Structure 1
C-alpha cells in the first residue's frame, strides 16, 4: 500500500531532501506532494488522500506553534510531524504536547529510521482510527438497545453505563464513574426489602456468569423501585484474564404485572372473581397438610343452587350472571377470611372451612349460608328468590384427599336435593354405596335395551261389583343377568336422570300394545291396557306422534290404550298439559290421572282435562280401616259426579275391598287380587273372566 505524504514547507532544500528520503525508503512505498503555504495546506486537506503531514513551523504565511494548531484543528485525524531547526527543538516539543506525532530536525532527513517511524505512525493512527470507529459503533449499539448495561473494573467500581442504564438507575455515566456497583445499582428483595446480592460481586469472585435472584427490584437514585431481571458476566482481556464485569438488565415491571394477572385469571373464576377449581385444589391440599400436622379437622361444602336453570330460561343469562355474582358475595360474607369460597362451575360452589372446624361448626355455617342465600335478590326490577342444597364432607373422617373430599361432598349434595332441596346433608359412607350402585345401573341400562333384558308384567284391574277382569296395567321389569328380576323402583329414577327413560318408555308402550293386540287375535277381548307415562316422555316433542305411530305399527284400536299420567306431571304446566291431552284424546286413546290426590291439583284445571279415569293413590286406600276412609270416599264421590271411572290402586285387604264396594268405587287393582303376571299367566287368568271377591 502506498502512503501519500503532504510536505508543507517553503524551503526547497528541505523539500528535496524529504522527497529523496521518502522515495528511497525501504519501508515505502511513499508518494508525496508539496505546498509552500499554510493556507495552501488548509485548502488541500479537505480533498482527502493524505496519510501524513510533514509541517514546517516556519512558513511565509504562518510562524510558530500557531501554525501547528491551525493545521491540527483542520485535520485532527491525520498524523502530523513538525520540521524544525535544532535551535527550535523546544518549539517542536511544544507541538508534541499539543498533539503532534513527532518531529524531524532539519538536516537529518537521510536516516532510514525516519521513513520507518513515519510508516509506524501512519499505521498506528489508522489502527486507532479503526478502533475509535469500532468503539463509536459499539457505543451507538449499546445506546440503541433497551437493556441497561453497566461495566465495572476488578474492584466493582463502575466505569461504563449506557443510556438505558442511566435512565433506569438515575445515574449519569460521568457521575457514576468510580462509584461501587452496589451504590449505583442498589438491589433489594421485592417482598422483604432486604438488600439483595448483586451478581457482579459473584462474577468478580468466581469468574463465571451469574443470574439475579428472582423477585429482585432496583432502587433507583430517586428512591423509586423498578422490577428487573439481569445477568452478569466477566470481561476478559486479550490474554483471557478477567479484567472486570458487565451486568445487563431490563425492566420487567409490566411483565410481572401481566404474569400476576395471568396467574390470577388462571386461578380465579372470570365472572365471580372467586378461586376456581385449580386454586381450590391447592388450598385443600394445604389445609389437609396443616390439619394432618395439627390433628384438627377441615370441612368441605359442595353447594348447588336449586332450579337456577329457570332463572336463565326466564330472564336470560345476563340476569343469571348477576345472580351468581350476588350469591358469591353472600357466600364470602358467611365465612371467615381464612376459609375459601370457590366457584366450581355453572351454579355450583365449594366452600373450604379451614382447620379447627368440627361437624357442629360446619352445620352452623351451612345454616347461615342457606339463610343468606334465601333472602330476596333485586335484579333488573325483579325480586328473585333462590335456595340451595349443600353437601358436607369432613377430613379425615370422610376422606383423606382433596379429590375424595370433593366427591363425597358432591354425593352428599345430591342427597340434599333428594331430601327436598334447601337443606344440607353430611356425607355418610352409605351414600357412596348408593352412588356406586347408581353408576353400575346407569352403565348397565344402556346395554339392557339392546340385549332385550326388559320384560313386562301385567297386573289385572277388576270390576269391584262383578269381579270381572276389565283390563291390565303394564309394569316394566328388568331381567338383569346378575341381579335377577329387578323392580322399576331401582332403575327407573336412574333412567330418568341419564336420558334413557324416553326410549325405555317407547319400548314399554310398543310392547304393551303388541301384546294386547296378540291377545285380541287369540280371542281375549281385553277392554284396555294401561301404560304409565313419565314426565320426560309426556313433555317430549314427538310424544303424540310416537303414540300414533305405535298404534299404527301394532294395529291396536286407540280406545284399547289407556295412558296414565300422574297428577303432578299434569299440573307442572296445566295449560300445556291440557293441549297434549286433547291431542291424545283426538286420537281416541283413554286418559287416566294416576296417583290422584298427591299432586295438589286445582279442580278447575282438572275439569279442563279430557280425563276418562281417576286412579286413587294407594296411600289413601291404605288409610282405609274400619273407622275411616273419608278422603277415599270423597274422591270416589267426586269422580262419580264428574262421570269419571274411578280405580283404587293398592288394594291389599278385605277391609279395604268392603269399603270400596260400599262406596261404589268402579274398579280396583292390588295384591289382594293379583300381582303382576307374565303374559301367559295373565291370559290364563283372563280366561276365567273374573276373580272371586270374598266379602
Structure 2
C-alpha cells in the first residue's frame, strides 16, 4: 500500500481528503502542523522512506516553517518525491512553485475529487533523465594539435576512453588542413610549436566562415599570464595546462562538450521549428514591438497572395495587410487593435478581422496573438491566422437555416419567439400595445390526405405568400410548424386588433387553392393575444393566443377570437407546466434568492422587560445575553419575479416536487448558502446555518457526496451546518435516507427534524433519523400563552426532547408574550417574526456580550 503524507491546517479539508484517499487504497498520515510535516520529511531516508507521496494544502500565509517545508521539498534530497499541491483557484504562487519543481502536480480544492488520480499519475515510474539524454547525444569530435607525439598519444587515449572521437595533428599547417577536410566540434591546440604558435591556428579557425563554429582551447606546459591573455585574445575559450590533473582536464573539455551539445540541440530545435513553421497549415508571421514583420511562413504567403517572404519581411504589418476595416473604411494606425497588441504584448485568442491580399481583396481571418518575452522583456509577437471565408459562408447558411423554415422560406418558431421577447421588453419600456396572431388552417389535413403531401406542401407555400402580402413593414411572420403560422403586429391600437386579424383571414379565403385540376376552399382560424401591461411575457402571449385559436375552432372555424380573462382560463396543468419551465430557467439563470432568519436561544428571556415590536431588538438582545452560543440562521429560498419581487416557496415548491426539480433546487441552496457562510469566517462569533432538505432529495441519493464536495470547496466547518428534514413523514425509503444522514453526521453536520409533535409518525422519525435538533410545529404554539392545553403539550414535547438530549426550536413565533411563554415551557430556541425578520445577507459582525441597560437602550436606538 502506498503511503501519503497529508498536511493542511483545515480540519474539514483534511478529513474529506483523507477519507477520499483511503477509499482509493492509500494509507494516509494526516498532519495539521507544518512543523510536524517538516520533521517527518527530514527523517525520511531516500529509498527507505515510509512516505511515497506528499499532499500539501498551499498556505495562505508566509512564515519561516512554510519556507522550510517547501524549500526542503525543492532541495536535491527530496526533489523527486511526488508532491500534490492543493490550492484555491486564485493562488499564482502555487502555480509557479509547481512549474519549477519536478514530479509535482496542482489540483484545486473545488476539484478535490481528482486528487487520487493526480497522485496515481505522479507515482508512475519515470525514465532517468540521464538515460534519456544519453540516447540522443551525438559523439563530440576533437582535433588535438601538438608537436609532441607522446602528448598526442597520451591525451588522445584519455579522451577516447571517455567517449570522444579524436583526430591528431603535429603542426599548425597540418591542423589547418584537417580542419578544412572534415568537421570538428573542438580543437585543443598546443601553444608553443616550432614553426608557428598555436594561437595562429586559433585565429584562422575563428575568422574562417566554415570553421568559426569550432570551439578552441590552448594547451601549454607553462602557466603564464601572457600566454593565457594571448590565447583568449585569439579566440580560445579555455586554457588547459599539461601539469594539472587528468580529471581537471577532462572537466574543462566536458564543459566545452556541453556547450557543443547545447548548441546542437538549439540548432536542431531551430531547424525543427522552422520545418514546423513551413509545414503548418495556418498562416503565421512574427513582428517586433513596432509591428515590423520579422518572419512569415508559406501558408501566410499563400493566403495573402505573395510568393516570397522577402516581399513582406521588413514592412509594417499594418501597411502590408491590415490597414483597412472589413467594410473598406481605412483604419488609423494608432487605433488599430493589432498594432496595440504588438506594442503592449497582449495575448488574444480568436480575434476576427480583415486582411488585405496583394490583389487588394479583403479576406476575413481569425487571429491568435502570442507575445514573445526574452529576459522578462517584450520582444515582439507571433500571430497565427486562418482564412475563415468558408466558415463565414457556412455560418451564414447555418444561421439562415436555424431561423427559417426550409419549405416556406419564412422565419421559424425559434426566431419568432426571440422577436416576441424583444417586443415584450419594448412594451414594458414604452407602454405601446402589440398583438400576437396564431393562425391555423382549417382544412389542411383533408387536402393533405386526399390530394397528397406534394399538394399539402404547395398549399403551405401559397399560404405563406398570401400572408406576406398583408404584412406591414414593422410586422413579423413565421411558420410555427405543421399548418400553424404566427404574426406579430407591433404598435397596434386596441380598436384595430379584430380588423387587422380579419384582414389576414380574408386575404387567404379570397380565392381557392388550385391543384391537380381541382379547387379547394381555404379557411383560417385566428387566435389573438394582446400584449400590454396586463400581458407582457412571451409565455403568456403564446398561451393566450393558443387558447383564443382553440376557441375560434370550437366556435365554428373561419373566424377570429381575441383572448380575455372572461373568455378563457389556463388549466391547472398548464399552470404547472409554466412553473416547470420557469423553475428550470431560474436554475440556469441563478434567479433564486436566499434569505436568512435568525434562530436565537431563549435563555435570559425572564430578564426581558422591553415591549418593542422591532424584531431586530429581540434577536440581538438574546445573542448578547448568550455570548457562548452560536448565531444560528435558517436559510430560506425565494424566487425572483420578473419585476424584482420575491416569490414565496409556497407558490413554486409543489410544482418543483411534481416535476422532480427539488434536488436541483436543494443543491442550488446548499452551494450558495455555503458560499455565504464562507464569507463569515472572520466573524468573532460562530455562525451556523440551517438548510432544508426535501424527502425527495434525500431519497434520490447523492446529497452526502454533494455536501462533502461543497464543504471542501468553500472550506467551511461542517459543525456549522444543520440539515433540516421538514417533511420526514413523507420519507418512504427510510434505510437509504438513514445511510445518507449517517454519512453527513460522520462528516460533522447536525440533523434537524421539523413538524415535531404532529402525529405519532413524527416521534418515530425522531428516533430513526437520530436528529440533533427538533422543531416544534407552529400549529402547537398558536394558543400560547392563554391556552392551557397548548401549554401542556409544548411542555411535554420539551420534556421528551430533553430526555432524548435533543435541542428544541419553536417556529412561527409572532408575539413577544408567546416567546416568554415558550421559555417558561422549557423550549431552548425560537424563530419567527417576533424574533427576527428574514434578511438578505448574513451579518458580518455580531454582539459578543450583554450590554448594560443604558448601553442597550443607546445601541438599539442606533441599530
- Structure 1 length as normaliser, TM-score? 0.49
Higher-Rg structure is 1
- Structure 2 length as normaliser, TM-score? 0.40
